[in-house]
Chains A and B, each alone.
Chain A
Amino acid sequence: MNSRAPLDPRLLEALSAYLDGQLAGAEKAALEERLSREEDLRRHLVELRAVRESLRALPPVKPPRALTLSRAQAGEPVRRFEWFSSGRLALGSALAALAFAVVFSANLFSRGITLGAAAPMMVENFAAPAMLQATGPLPAPSASGPQEKYGGGESATPELVSPPSKTALDGCGESSGPDAAAERCGLGGGFGDQPPPQTFSLPDFRTLAPYLEFLLGSIAVLLAGLAIFSRRRK
Chain B
Amino acid sequence: MDESSLLQEARKGDLDAFNRLVLDYQNHAYAFAYRMLGESEAAADAAQQAFVSAYRHLGELRGENFRSWLLRIVANACLDELRRRKRRPAVSLEDLTEGPEEDRSGESLSILADPAEGPEAAAVRADLRRALEDCLALLPPDQRATILLVDVHAQDYVEAARTLRVALGTVKSRVARARADLRDCLRTKGELPPLPHRLESEALR
List A residues at the B interface (Cβ < 8 Å): 1-2, 7, 9, 12-13, 15-17, 20, 22, 32, 35-36, 39, 42-43, 45-56, 58-69, 71, 73-74, 76-78, 234
Q: A2, A17, A52, A74: which contacts B55 (Cβ < 8 A)?
A: A74
Whether the Cβ atoms of A51 and B48 lie closer than 8 Å is no
CB closest residue in chain A, given B180: A12
Whether the Cβ atoms of B152 and A46 lie closer than 8 Å is no
Would you call B82 an interface residue if the criterion is a C-beta within 8 Å of the partner chain's C-beta atoms? Answer: no
Rounded to whole Å, the gap between the CB of B153 and the closest CB of chain A is 10
Q: List 12 A-B contacts (CB under 8 A).
A: A7-B180, A16-B179, A16-B180, A17-B175, A48-B183, A56-B154, A62-B27, A64-B41, A64-B102, A68-B26, A69-B48, A73-B52
How far, in angstroms, from A54 to B187 measured CA to CA in the complex? 13
Residues of B within 8 A of A68 (CB): 19, 22-23, 26
How far, in angstroms, from A46 to B152 measured CA to CA in the complex? 18
Residues of B within 8 A of A32 (CB): 204
How far, in angstroms, from A180 to B130 measured CA to CA in the complex? 106
Whether the Cβ atoms of B52 and A77 lie closer than 8 Å is yes
Rounded to whole Å, the gap between the CB of B105 and the closest CB of chain A is 12
Residues of A within 8 A of B30 (CB): 61-63, 67
How far, in angstroms, from A77 to B50 measured CA to CA in the complex? 11
How far, in angstroms, from A66 to B22 measured CA to CA in the complex? 9
Q: B53, B176, B202, B204: which contacts A36 (Cβ < 8 A)?
A: B204
How far, in angstroms, from A61 to B13 measured CA to CA in the complex? 30
Additional A-B contact list (20), CB under 8 Å, known A7-B180, A52-B151: A13-B176, A16-B179, A17-B175, A17-B176, A22-B157, A45-B203, A46-B203, A47-B183, A47-B195, A50-B192, A51-B186, A55-B132, A55-B152, A58-B35, A60-B27, A62-B27, A68-B22, A69-B15, A69-B52, A73-B52
